[in-house]
Structure 1
Amino acid sequence: MATRTIIVTIFLECIFRVASGANILFFSGIPSPSHSIWLRPLTTALAKKGHNVTVISPDVEKSPPSNLTYIHLENLYSAMFNSSQEVVPQFFELANSSPLTLLNVIDQFSIKCCNHGIKSKGFKQLMDYPKDFKFDVFLSDYMVGPCLASLLMYRFGIPPFIPVVPYNGLTTSSPYIGSYSYSAAIPNHVFDATEKMSFLERTKNLLYDSYESISKDLYLYPHADSVIKSIFPNAPSARELQKNIKLLFTNSNPMIQYKEPLMPMVIPVGGMHILPPKPLPNDLSQVISKSKEGFILFSLGSNVRSDQLGPERIRCILTAMKAFPQYQFLWKFESDKSKLPMAVPENVFIRAWMPQNDLLAHPSIKLFITHSGLLSTQEAFWHGVPLIGFPLFTDQFRNINYCTSIRVARRLSLETFAVDELIDAIRAMVTDPSYRTKMQRLSQHFRDQPQTPLERAVWWVEWVLRNPDVDVMQSNSINLWWFQKYLMDVFLFLFIVIVSVVVTLIVILRSIFRKKLSTHKNKSE
């Protein structure tokens, strides 16, 4: 009876602690609006549950709830892009780069985020918190790398750690959780290939996965260690600190991507950012109401600006739109009409910002022309809208390749497309009902879950709060080096044994043969 009372008391204390509001630190150190868009619903939902959430990020909300505190990494956009937040990197150059170059770019980006982030006033403000201040759980955007995340983890007493991965590919996060890279079936997140790879593609993919893993060991982690040791000389290594992981959230869902086995500690929350649609602004409602057969949305996401595509590409896009007067086109175009190289057709409405999720939920939408970003692709799946994709870099190729492989999308090159190509693609997508039918069926599969992805993420964060010291979800493979995890040391040993046995047998057989030959000669003499 006494034991039962103690157990009930401990359980009630845990529930009370979570219900009364835990202190949660969320590090979102990537200067990219799409990362904030994906993570913001989770921070807001945790605040609504009564938790005290602190977010350190280059993107901040203007009017957050009272228990949601933003600390601004004020210098990251200007430092990383050498200008304002609105300037776009040379994405066409990245699109033509090799996967190895892209992996190097990502590593360099991570290191620059660390070097500049640590100098920001916001980061110093967080580091200057009282020495005894504690956070009950720490979440960090994986893409920022191990440097600042490990530093914050050690500074605040190594709280339970939940990395969040904005990609839908686990090769990017295998160092955290000891997971495996399935190079034979899953293309690397920067490799422009499908899951049905040829022998040469599988060979390349293995090299890319291996290079990504090794570069972290030889490049990112040593850099992180040097930064941490410069501030806390007695701190453990970044790799040791990050073994404190309890769970990992990945932006994935098996219904809408290449299929990949998951470790027990991996919680798929693909579509976490998709919220119930809100009413459209009046100007958009009026434009849509005038369309004869529906509308088509054109948006290149939050990083690529349509007004920087150049006059020739803009002219091609407007000409293609003009060829379909029965449809109203809504184009996310960041400048006014004076920046356009030709008059805007009557069936085209441009706007600097579009409520994308709300528009994709509208019953009159027929097609979504997109940059193939993961968030946009997931929203299209959720709402059952077929796609035309203009991928530019990293995982966008992977996303649109999957969509084309299951016949819910067409793919074009934003750098080299011609007017006729775009017209043909639009015509095929709006006249062939099979694209929309397939997408709507996948939408039903995607939505058919016992809880929304956001509810799942919140529940598991609170699970860690209730069970902060439990490591039952963690595999021992997290303690292995990559060559141990893939049994390369064992294969090398077996190879040496086999070679030794073969060599020994050859030596023995040669000796026997020589003895027999010698005996035969002696008899002959």
Structure 2
Amino acid sequence: MYLFANLAILFTILQTQDVQAANILAILPHVGKSHFLVFEPLMKELATRGHHVTVASFFPQSEPLGNYTDISLQEIAEVRKERINLQVFDKPNRIISSLGLQNFMTQVFAFQPLSDLALKVCSGLVNLPPLAEALRKNYDVVLVENFNSDCALGLLHVYDVKAPVIGLVSGPLLQWSYSRIGLPDNPSYVPTITSRTSTITTFLDRLENTALNLYFKLWFRYAIQVKERAIIERRFWIKIPDLDVLARNVSMMLVNTFHSFNGVRPLLPGLVEVGGMHIGRRREEHKRTSPVIPQRSKS
């Protein structure tokens, strides 16, 4: 009898599953849908596995999902298609071309609109009541897109959110991303995100790559971080730490790269390559929504 009682207790314990759902906040403040398409499957998968996910983005779900709460950012900026002005390549400046600086200047100008967009979105984020309400809640982890803005990191500090922060990158690492987790980005062999090649071979390549590396870091620092900090401080009438300091407190970064495509780079445990993590779910959704075309008999 004693043996059967013990077996019954053991069987009951083995059948019991300890499930702890996390409360997750994701702030994805970029208007380009290509970025969101990389992150969306991760958010949906977390919700499917029982976690409570609150997503602040420009692309709310068309139909409600269980465990998935949307905070729409559509009222603060216009959702737009990402495009490149090909005239920059078709009609190069003759003077710049004669000096051999056409490629350098093309890469410099490609990022200029992103600073104005970042400041516009940040000005809207600091005045968005639904986001403020969400930031007052407790979370187990916060996911923040790392692209052309650190405004979300400043808001997390203002609202005293203590949860660890994980950075999300929809493509290769940006020049201002490496220092956040102590990753080396030696320009003698690590190309910038706008580089024409994945390998640096000649001295001129190294010279151009070094100049771009330095430029992008200074641009992000003074055209975005400094101004976003000023926007937050004016809105809340408080002093906050330098956004670069807050960015270095990121616990981990998930990057949409893979070494077979993007080249071998020095990595740290705090950086995880998740290249293609969105492909599986996208393929399944395509199969469910695609019309079934009947096969014609060969006979």
Task: Please state which band the TM-score falls in when normalised by the shorter chain.
Answer: 0.7 to 0.9
Q: Which residue of 2 aligns with 1:126?
A: 131
Cα RMSD after superposing both structures: 2.7
Q: Which amino acid aligns with 2:248?
A: K
Shift of 1:252: 1.1
Q: Which amino acid aligns with 1:212?
A: F
Q: 1:211 to 1:87 in 2, by over 3 A?
A: closer
The TM-score with structure 1 as length reference comes to 0.46
User: What are the residue-to-residue correspondences of 1:65-84 with 2, within 5 Å?
Assistant: 65-78=65-78
Q: 1:234 to 1:69 in 2, by over 3 A?
A: same
Deviations 1:185-228 (A, max 9, x none): 23211122341432112101100011111223333221122122
Q: Which amino acid aligns with 2:206?
A: R
User: What are the residue-to-residue correspondences of 1:390-405 with 2, within 5 Å?
Assistant: none
Q: Which amino acid aligns with 2:232?
A: I
Secondary structure at 1:222 match in 2 = helix
Q: After the TM superposition, which of the residue ranges 202-211 and 94-103 deviates more from structure 2?
A: 94-103
Q: Which residue of 1 aligns with 2:61?
A: 61
Q: Which amino acid aligns with 1:149?
A: L
Q: 1:178 to 1:219 in 2, by over 3 A?
A: farther
Secondary structure at 1:91 match in 2 = coil
Secondary structure at 2:147 match in 1 = helix
Q: 1:39 to 1:203 in 2, by over 3 A?
A: same
Q: Which residue of 2 aligns with 1:180?
A: 184
Shift of 1:264: 2.3
Q: Which residue of 1 aligns with 2:276?
A: 271
1:257 aligns with 2:262: yes
1:139 aligns with 2:143: yes
Q: 1:94 to 1:181 in 2, by over 3 A?
A: farther
Q: Which amino acid aligns with 1:91?
A: N
In 2, Cα distance between the equivalents of 1:156 and 1:95?
46
Shift of 1:62: 1.5
Shift of 1:283: 5.2
Q: 1:105 to 1:191 in 2, by over 3 A?
A: farther
Query: Does the Cα contact within 8 Å between 1:171 and 1:180 map onto a contact in 2?
Result: no
Identity in percent: 22
Secondary structure at 1:244 match in 2 = coil
User: What are the residue-to-residue correspondences of 1:71-110 with 2, within 5 Å?
Assistant: 71-78=71-78, 85=79, 89=83, 91-93=85-87, 98-110=106-118
Query: Does the Cα contact within 8 Å between 1:35 and 1:166 map onto a contact in 2?
Result: yes
- Structure 2 runs not aligned, ≥5 long: 1-16, 91-104
Higher RCO (C-alpha 8 Å, min separation 6): 2
Q: Which residue of 1 aligns with 2:153?
A: 149
Q: Which residue of 2 aligns with 1:9?
A: none
Secondary structure at 1:128 match in 2 = helix
Shift of 1:142: 0.5
In 1, Cα distance between the equivalents of 2:248 and 2:29?
20
Q: Which residue of 2 aligns with 1:201?
A: 205
Q: 1:90 to 1:212 in 2, by over 3 A?
A: closer
Q: Which residue of 2 aligns with 1:163?
A: 167
Secondary structure at 1:217 match in 2 = helix
The TM-score with structure 2 as length reference comes to 0.77
Query: Does the Cα contact within 8 Å between 2:55 and 2:68 map onto a contact in 1?
Result: yes
Query: Does the Cα contact within 8 Å between 1:30 and 1:58 map onto a contact in 2?
Result: yes
Query: Does the Cα contact within 8 Å between 1:29 and 1:144 map onto a contact in 2?
Result: no
Query: Does the Cα contact within 8 Å between 2:77 and 2:121 map onto a contact in 1?
Result: no
Q: 1:43 to 1:207 in 2, by over 3 A?
A: same
Q: After the TM superposition, which of the residue ranges 32-41 and 154-163 deviates more from structure 2?
A: 154-163
- Structure 1 runs not aligned, ≥5 long: 1-14, 79-84, 291-525
Query: Does the Cα contact within 8 Å between 1:46 and 1:53 map onto a contact in 2?
Result: yes
2:225 to 207, 221, 226: 221
Query: Does the Cα contact within 8 Å between 2:26 and 2:144 map onto a contact in 1?
Result: yes
Secondary structure at 1:125 match in 2 = helix
Shift of 1:36: 1.2
Query: Does the Cα contact within 8 Å between 2:57 and 2:70 map onto a contact in 1?
Result: yes
Query: Does the Cα contact within 8 Å between 2:170 and 2:255 map onto a contact in 1?
Result: yes
User: What are the residue-to-residue correspondences of 1:3-82 with 2, within 5 Å?
Assistant: 19-78=19-78
Q: After the TM superposition, which of the residue ranges 171-180 and 160-169 deviates more from structure 2?
A: 171-180
Q: After the TM superposition, which of the residue ranges 185-194 and 33-42 deviates more from structure 2?
A: 185-194
Q: Which residue of 2 aligns with 1:403?
A: none
Secondary structure at 1:98 match in 2 = helix
In 2, Cα distance between the equivalents of 1:110 and 1:49?
33
Shift of 1:55: 0.1
Q: Which amino acid aligns with 2:274?
A: V
Q: Which amino acid aligns with 2:186?
A: Y
Secondary structure at 2:111 match in 1 = helix
Q: Which amino acid aligns with 1:275?
A: G
Deviations 1:302-340 (A, max 9, x none): xxxxxxxxxxxxxxxxxxxxxxxxxxxxxxxxxxxxxxx
